[in-house]
Amino acid sequence: MKRNRGRIVQIDTLEEFDHRLRSGARRLSGWRLMAIDLSQRSRELRGSDVGGALFLGCTFADHDEDSVRARGAVVFPEVPSVPVDTYRTTLYRPDELYDQRDYEKTLDARTYAWSQKDHSIDATLAAALHDHAVDGALAAWISGRRLVGIMGGHALTRDQRKYADAAQLGFLLGAHLTVATGGGPGAMEAANLGGYLSGGDEDDLRDALSTLGRVPGFRPDIGAWAEAAFEVRERHPQGAESLGIPTWHYGHEPPNLFASAIAKYFHNAQREAILLEVCQAGIVFLPGAGGTVQEIFQDACENYYADESAVAPMVLIGTDYWTNEYPAWPLLKALAAGRPMEGHVHLVESVQDAAELIAAGAQ
């Protein structure tokens, strides 16, 4: 979470740095300055007490970096081999991760390849600093938005009925809330697609599903899979905002292009916890396997120990699926009995039922 007042403050623009100095600040202890070009601020730096300041990926004029270090500041430079900006201050955009149409040459693919082969101390530090920066950017992005999570299996293909159902769910929920998913393919892509098109009509959604259905999955050609999504985006350029939170831990699964903002992490455990945490309006669980079951009970654990004011709704879709095929519902219901969460866990049959429940709670 970005802090802008008190003892510890985060500063990520030159304008904010200048404003604070104009306001009379001369002691920079507790300041966290991220990715700022300070090469034209030698006089200001030399005229300030920089002891206790932390400079992350900042640019200095000649000798200024040595000067601030000598006067008690801590400086983390760029790690040259990292494909991504370690100290970024905003979330990724789809066209940033897919900066080239040849997927193997994209920023997303290059970063995954780097994460698999570089295990030096510098690389470990760079990944941790990157994920910390994404945390701050995500906190800024969700401010003022109310998010609903949609979880489901990554293996759904675009030509399956369940994919269309997940897209319909995102479409219905996106009319009231900001849709958030794990940011990958399958049900996650479908939900972000529905959220993206939620400002239009259902004909737009049917048209998009028809276009995407021509390339059902990302195997064997991620480039063709992404190209179909680009085609939908170009046909419907005014899409609504939604969020994806994927990870390079599962880098063989590409991020989908329908999340307008993408908080991509290196570390999956951190990403999983944050994905559940930001969904204040609740989470809907579509049929899925191991990952979805994990998310159900990770979310249930948070709700189990929460007081009434902090419980977020949980809605499972598919009575037979969650009762017999993967019997998560009986255990979830037993856990909830007698707890503040009891009235907030639901099992429904259709995406329409789930959307109505969540929308009613959002009023």
What's at 52, amino acid-wise? G
Domain limit, last residue, from 76, 101, 117? 76
Q: At 32, which helix (H) or strand (E)? A: strand 31-34
pLDDT in tens, 107-135: 999 999 999 986 778 888 899 999 999 99
Strands 147-151, 74-76: pairing is unpaired
Strand order in the sheet with 345-348: 261-262, 242-244, 178-181, 147-151, 283-285, 314-317, 345-348
Domain limit, last residue, from 76, 102, 123? 76
pTM: 0.87
Domain annotation covers residue 108: no
How far apart (Å, rounded) are the C-alpha atoms in residues 284 and 98?
Answer: 28
Domain annotation covers residue 128: no
Residue 77, phi-psi category: left (phi > 0), alpha (psi -120 to 50), beta (remainder): beta
What's at 77, amino acid-wise? P
pLDDT in tens, 84-105: 999 888 999 999 999 998 999 9
Domain annotation covers residue 312: yes
Residue tagged 């004029």 (tokens): 61
Question: Residue 321 carries which DSSP code?
Answer: I
Domain annotation covers residue 133: no
Domain limit, last residue, from 33, 58, 76? 76
Per-residue pLDDT, averaged over 277-297, amounts to: 95
- Does residue 280 share a domain with residue 159? yes
Domain annotation covers residue 114: no
Give the residue numbers spanning the domain of 24. Answer: 9-76
Domain annotation covers residue 86: no
pLDDT in tens, 212-224: 999 999 999 999 9
- Does residue 175 share a domain with residue 60? no
Contact 332, 314 (CB under 8 A): yes
Give how many domains the chain has, as a whole number: 2
- Does residue 284 share a domain with residue 163? yes
Domain annotation covers residue 224: yes
- Does residue 350 share a domain with residue 271? yes
pLDDT at 118: 64
Domain annotation covers residue 111: no
- Does residue 342 share a domain with residue 199? yes
